[in-house]
Amino acid sequence: MKIALGADHGAYELKEAIAKHLEEKGIEYTDFGCFSKESVDYPKFAYLAATAVSKGECDYGIICCTTGLGVSMAANKVKGVRAAVCTNNHLAEMTRRHNNANVICMGQGQVTQESAFEMVDIFLSTEFEGGRHQRRVDLLTDIENGKEL
Ligand code: RB5
């Protein structure tokens, strides 16, 4: 399993901590930046990490900003990406089980590092349920492809 990591300056520290957490668990990742606390624009880093997922170069993305909101908006504009902002373990589990999310977004200002590590672990280990949820995820793809529902 390979992870695409990305963050803006507002979540630089959280990204660094998550990178260390992944290393401790022996999970491979590519860090798409940013690489300091200097102010940057979140869409670029969300785009880089989300695109790696979209292209199949990474299996999942973990993308963070201060709130988690801006990066999720940017990531969801990349084809094939289903990004979900998560603030607790239940959301991290359900967005895998029901939405087949392939990117988790978190806000450094919203969650503790410990809580983020737990959400990452749950997100990466929970399977998509398929069944009726596959039909709904397929409808998301239809929207993405400009189909009328
Ligand atoms: C940066 O100040 C902040 O706007 C960004 O980290 C993010 O929260 C945007 O949604």
Going residue by residue through the chain (149 aa), what tens digit of pLDDT does each one get?
999 999 999 999 999 999 999 999 999 999 999 999 999 999 999 999 999 999 999 999 999 999 999 999 999 999 999 999 999 999 999 999 999 999 999 999 999 999 999 999 999 999 999 999 999 999 999 999 999 99
The verdict on the CB of residue 69 being under 6 Å from ligand 1 is yes
For 70, list phi and psi in degrees, rounded to 5. -60, -45
Whose C-alpha lies nearest to ligand 1, atom 1?
A: 10
The verdict on the CB of residue 32 being under 6 Å from ligand 1 is no
Q: What is the pTM of this model?
A: 0.98
Determine the Cα–Cα distance for residues 21 and 113; give it in Å rounded to an integer.
Answer: 10
The verdict on the CB of residue 65 being under 6 Å from ligand 1 is yes
For 73, list phi and psi in degrees, rounded to 5. -65, -45
Q: Which residues are catalytic?
A: 65, 98
